[in-house]
């Protein structure tokens, strides 16, 4: 009986993390869309990545004191990478819980005012250079993975679009379309960074 309960608890935490991650993405996207009305999609995507990544989530979780109130095995306290992951996951789960308990407006208010507004300097983040492609290439080299792109052109469109697929060890990870081939590559790598938890 207890095993079943523990399994349910783990699954529920992961589901809350999934929900919180989606809500955080949506709220930050809306915030940036309103704050930078003249900026293009590429800028907004990059800024969202600078706000919503493992490093920033861990930082925000630390500011809220989430890790301190969690029951974490003593040996993990010396593992900085593990603590970042635990803190970020806890923050996503908290956002998901706020949404379920209080609704989207409260979750949005928490993210905009309590997190981004209080602890993050968006102007400073704008000056931070991020190359997702470089991060993924470095990770692939360290992990001895084969990293490559496949480039195609969408022929059935009035406007020519570059279709880029990112392959890791010959497994297709992400496909993106863009007017710029380099931008499509960067968008693929931005998703890969989020999947791998890579930050600058």
The residues that are catalytic are 21, 92
Query: Residue 89: CB partners within 8 Å, gap ≥ 6?
Result: 13, 17
Sort residue 197 into left (φ over 0), alpha (ψ -120 to 50) or beta: left
Nearest-angstrom CA–CA distance, 123 and 160: 34
Query: Strand, helix or coil at 171?
Result: strand
With contact defined as beta carbons under 8 Å apart, do 86 and 67 qualify? yes
Query: Residue 98: CB partners within 8 Å, gap ≥ 6?
Result: 106, 107, 110
């Amino acid at each position: 009986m207890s095993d079943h309960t523990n399994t349910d608890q783990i699954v529920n935490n992961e589901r809350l993390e999934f929900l919180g991650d989606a809500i955080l993405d949506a709220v930050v996207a809306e915030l940036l869309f309103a704050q930078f009305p003249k900026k293009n999609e590429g800028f907004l995507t990059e800024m969202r990545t600078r706000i919503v990544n493992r490093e920033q989530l861990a930082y925000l979780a630390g500011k809220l004191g989430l890790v301190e109130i969690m029951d974490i095995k003593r040996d993990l306290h010396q593992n900085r990478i593990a603590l970042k992951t635990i803190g970020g996951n806890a923050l996503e789960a908290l956002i998901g819980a706020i949404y379920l308990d209080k609704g989207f407006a409260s979750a949005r208010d928490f993210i905009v005012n309590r997190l981004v507004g209080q602890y993050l300097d968006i102007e400073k983040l704008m000056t931070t250079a991020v190359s997702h492609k470089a991060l993924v290439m470095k990770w692939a080299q360290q992990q001895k993975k084969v990293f490559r792109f496949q480039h195609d052109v969408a022929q059935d469109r009035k406007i020519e679009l570059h279709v880029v697929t990112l392959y890791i060890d010959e497994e297709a990870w992400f496909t993106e379309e863009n007017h710029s081939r380099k931008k499509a590559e960067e968008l693929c790598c931005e998703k890969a960074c989020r999947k791998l938890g890579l930050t600058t």
